[in-house]
């Protein structure tokens, strides 16, 4: 493409992005869906749309829903959506889909569950796939949440699909993290091992219709109390979160309104305008998002056709142990900063 053809293509996609943003914001759900596809594909139209929408976002409560595979997250989210709708609130769900063939079935099952809301324009459900982008899933998920936020969804659930990749990571992009656990023996141990309890703001012992749920909840509470006593010994050092433990059954619908109430209390305390903890969360989210974008931009530059050969030569030097990877990274950074196209420089 010539430089002028490139410029006019850029201008075209920027116009398209702005039109999509305007339409989505005025309530056009198909435009919103198309815009989220652009976000997922990291197009320049998406960047143009975000330039408009990002300043309008920052009001919604982003709730991460995570937990081991099969804990009942999707069923619970479906019930939470029902509860929010019963209260007249618009609600959106982003399902993080690491695009593994194994979880295809789970997403399909979720679609069936969500059929109940098919005709309701105030429910918006979408799965986000990473499609192998360098920046990872955080970047497009945070951008998608900002778009939904700007389009008037005050409550957004970000649900992980249990594969272990995104379970803890979701906490970095959510305002509030719900960790869902089944009452089965050993589930707590798994959650501890996976570091899930450390990121939880609220732990839901789900499937409370099954035996053992009460015991599992008491056990968890006891464990967290011991943790709190241990924290006091930490003195002034930052202490881990002490989550509330709630019992629910996503399937039977019990305990669901209590979860929504707990979410609202947190939102009232930390959300919209109030500081400190919320600030920390927002900074962490901005950091996760920027890290993804920076990695992506750097990747683009390094593999730009004009630079690819030089990048390849540096890679080769590392592979052949002629250059250590840290020195290689520094060289590449310097070369990108200078706009140069240098091959590897030997350290000697
Ligand atoms: N008894 C009981 N079973 C439930 C409950 N909620 C979900 N289940 C069942 O547990 C299984 C998993 O439910 P999902 O909602 O798909 O769980 P998930 O955590 O989203 O699973 P992944 O997306 O695969 O990680 C299904 O067979 C559900 O029918 C509940 O409250 N009680
Ligand atoms: Mg699920």
Tell me the CATH architecture of domain 57-281. 3-Layer(aba) Sandwich (3.40)
From the CA of 78, the nearest ligand is: 1
Query: Does ligand 1 lie within 6 Å of residue 164's CB atom?
Result: no
Q: What single DSSP character describes residue 209?
A: T
Nearest C-alpha neighbor of 211 from the set 184, 176, 240, 238: 184
The crossing angle, in degrees rounded to 10, of helices 29-40 and 3-25 is: 140
DSSP output for 25-90:
HTT-HHHHHHHHHHHHTT-HHHHHHHHHHGGG-S-SEEEEEEESTTSSHHHHHHHHHHHHHHTT--
The crossing angle, in degrees rounded to 10, of helices 325-338 and 277-302 is: 80
What are the angstrom distances between the C-alpha of 326 and each of 146, 229, 339?
35, 42, 20
Length of the chain: 348
> Going along the chain, which residue ranges are E strands?
61-67, 91-97, 123-129, 155-160, 176-181, 202-205, 244-247
Distance (Å) from CA 123 to ligand 1 centroid: 21
What are the angstrom distances between the C-alpha of 100 and each of 19, 144, 163?
33, 20, 9
Local confidence pLDDT in tens for the 348 residues of the chain: 677 888 888 888 899 999 999 999 999 999 999 999 999 888 999 999 999 999 999 999 999 999 888 889 999 999 999 999 999 999 999 988 765 544 444 555 566 666 777 788 999 998 887 555 555 667 888 999 999 999 999 999 999 875 555 677 788 889 999 999 988 756 666 666 667 788 889 999 999 999 888 888 888 888 877 766 665 665 655 556 678 999 999 999 999 999 999 999 988 887 655 555 667 778 888 888 888 889 889 999 999 999 999 999 999 999 999 999 999 999 999 999 988 666 677 654
Phi, psi for residue 177 in degrees, rounded to 5? -115, 120
- Paired residues of 202 in beta bridges: 178, 244
Run of H or E residues at 299: helix 277-302
Distance (Å) from CA 52 to ligand 1 centroid: 38
Residues of the chain with CATH 3.40.50.300: 57-281
Beta-carbon neighbour count of residue 226 at 10 Å? 10
Distance (Å) from CA 97 to ligand 1 centroid: 17
Reduced to 3 states, what is the DSSP secondary structure of residue 261? helix
What are the angstrom distances between the C-alpha of 257 and each of 60, 90, 94?
19, 16, 20
Q: Which atom of ligand 1 is nearest to the CA of 67?
A: 19
Please say whether the beta carbons of 247 and 205 come within 8 A.
Answer: yes
CA dihedral of 185, 190, 195, 197, whole degrees rounded to 10: -10
């Amino acid at each position: 493409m010539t430089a002028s053809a490139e410029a006019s293509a850029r201008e075209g996609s920027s116009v398209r992005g702005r039109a999509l943003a305007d339409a989505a914001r005025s309530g056009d759900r198909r435009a919103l869906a198309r815009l989220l596809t652009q976000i997922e594909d990291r197009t320049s139209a998406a960047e143009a749309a975000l330039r408009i929408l990002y300043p309008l976002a920052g009001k919604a409560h982003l709730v991460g829903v995570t937990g081991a595979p099969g804990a009942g997250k999707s069923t619970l989210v479906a019930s939470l959506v029902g509860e929010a709708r019963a209260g007249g609130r618009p609600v959106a769900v982003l399902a993080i889909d690491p695009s593994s063939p194994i979880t295809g079935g789970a997403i399909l099952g979720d679609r069936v569950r969500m059929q109940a809301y098919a005709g309701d324009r105030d429910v918006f459900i979408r799965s986000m796939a990473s499609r192998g982008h360098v920046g990872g899933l955080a970047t497009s998920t945070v951008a998608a949440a900002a778009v939904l936020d700007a389009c008037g969804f005050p409550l957004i659930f970000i649900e992980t699909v249990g594969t272990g990749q995104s379970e803890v990571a979701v906490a970095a992009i959510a305002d509030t993290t719900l960790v869902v656990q089944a009452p089965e023996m050993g589930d707590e141990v798994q959650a501890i091992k996976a570091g899930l309890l450390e990121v939880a703001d609220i732990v839901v012992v789900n499937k409370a219709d099954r035996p053992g749920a009460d015991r599992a909840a008491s056990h968890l509470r006891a464990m967290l109390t011991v943790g709190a006593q241990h924290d006091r010994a930490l003195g002034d050092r930052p202490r881990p979160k002490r989550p509330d433990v709630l019992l629910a059954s996503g399937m039977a619908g019990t305990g669901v309104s209590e979860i929504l109430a707990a979410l609202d209390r947190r939102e009232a305390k930390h959300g919209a305008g109030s500081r400190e903890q919320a600030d920390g969360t927002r900074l962490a989210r901005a950091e996760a998002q920027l890290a993804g974008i920076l990695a992506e931009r750097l990747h683009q530059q390094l593999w730009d056709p004009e630079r690819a050969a030089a990048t390849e030569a540096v890679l080769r030097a590392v592979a052949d142990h002629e250059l250590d990877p840290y020195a290689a990274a520094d060289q590449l950074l310097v070369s990108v900063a200078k706009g140069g196209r240098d091959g590897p420089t030997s350290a000697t």
